[in-house]
Amino acid sequence: MRPSLATDRLRRVYDRAAGHYDFQHGFLTAGSDARGRRLVVERSVSSDDRVLDCGAGTGSTALLAARRAGPRGRITLFDLSEGMLEVARRRAGNAGLESRMDFRSGDMESLPFEDASFDVVLSTYSLCPLYDPERAAAELYRVTRPGGRLGIAHSTEPEGSFTRWLAARVEGVAWKIPALSLGCRAVSVLPALERAGVRVLFRRRLGVPLWPFLVLVLEKTRR
C-alpha cells in the first residue's frame, strides 16, 4: 500500500478540490461512485436512524441518507476538510434538508463521539487516503451501537495480475499529482473489522477494472 499524504496536506488537497470534487470523482470512476453510495445507503439506513457520515465530503451520501432516514432521522456529517463541508452545507440547504443535519470537522482516526452513539455509520471513499485506515475503521466500529450497521465503500486491488500491474503503473503517475489522485489508494479494513466483531450482510465489487471499489454493509455484533 502506498504511504498516505500528510494530514495537513490532505486537508489542503480536499479544500482545493471541493468545488469540482463531485465531477472529478464521478468522471474518474465512470459514475460507479454514485452506484456505491446508493448501495450503501439503501442497505444500511432505515427510517428514524441516527446516522454518522464519516468523511462526508460534499454530502452526496449524507443527502441520500437523510432522505431515507426521513424527518425524524438525524445525520451528522464529519470531514477533515472545511471546504468540502461548506459545499455539503450548501447542497443540504438547497435540498431543504439542512435542519436534519449536523456538521463537524476533524480526523477520522480519532472521532469526537461517544461509544455506540449512532445506529448507522457510513464511510464512502473516505478510508482510502488515510494514514491508518484500520484505525479509522476501528473508530467507525466504536461509535456504532451494538446491532447497528456500518456501510463502507473503499478502493480495493484490481483482480488479475496484469490489471494490477497496469493499475500500479498508472497510479504511479497519478500519485505524483495529489490534485488528481486525491491521495487515494487501495486499502483493506474488513479483516480488522471481522476481528472486532462484525457480520457481513452485503459485499460487492464494482467500478472500472483499474480502480475497483469494495462495497460492504456490516452488522456490529459485539458490545
Query: In the chain, which residues have pLDDT < 50?
Result: none
95 assigned to some structural domain: yes
- Compute how many other C-beta atoms are within 10 angstroms of the C-beta atom of residue 20: 13
pLDDT digit string (tens) for 85-126?
999 999 999 999 999 999 999 999 999 999 999 999 999 999
Give the range of the structural domain holding residue 75, as residue numbers without chain letter: 7-220
Task: Identify whether the C-beta of residue 66 lies closer than 8 Å to the C-beta of residue 150.
Answer: no
Contact indicator for 149, 44 with CB cutoff of 8 Å: yes
Looking at residue 175, its pLDDT comes to 74
Q: How many domains does the chain fold into? A: 1
> How high is the pLDDT of residue 30?
87
Is 206 inside any structural domain?
yes
* Amino acid 1: pLDDT: 66
| Residue 27, C-alpha cell as written in the block | 468522471
- Confidence (pLDDT) at 178: 86
Q: Is residue 197 part of a domain?
A: yes
* C-alpha neighbours within 13 Å on the C-beta side of residue 183: 24
Q: C-alpha angle with apex 179: 151 to 26, nearest 5 degrees?
A: 45
pTM for the model stands at: 0.94
Note whether residue 45 is domain-resident.
yes
CATH code of the domain covering residue 210: 3.40.50.150
Whether 2 is in a domain gets the answer: no
Quick one: pLDDT at residue 166?
Answer: 87
Q: Which residues pair with 156 in a beta bridge?
A: none
Q: Which residue has the cell 449512532?
A: 118
Instruction: Evaluate whether residue 1 is within a structural domain.
Output: no
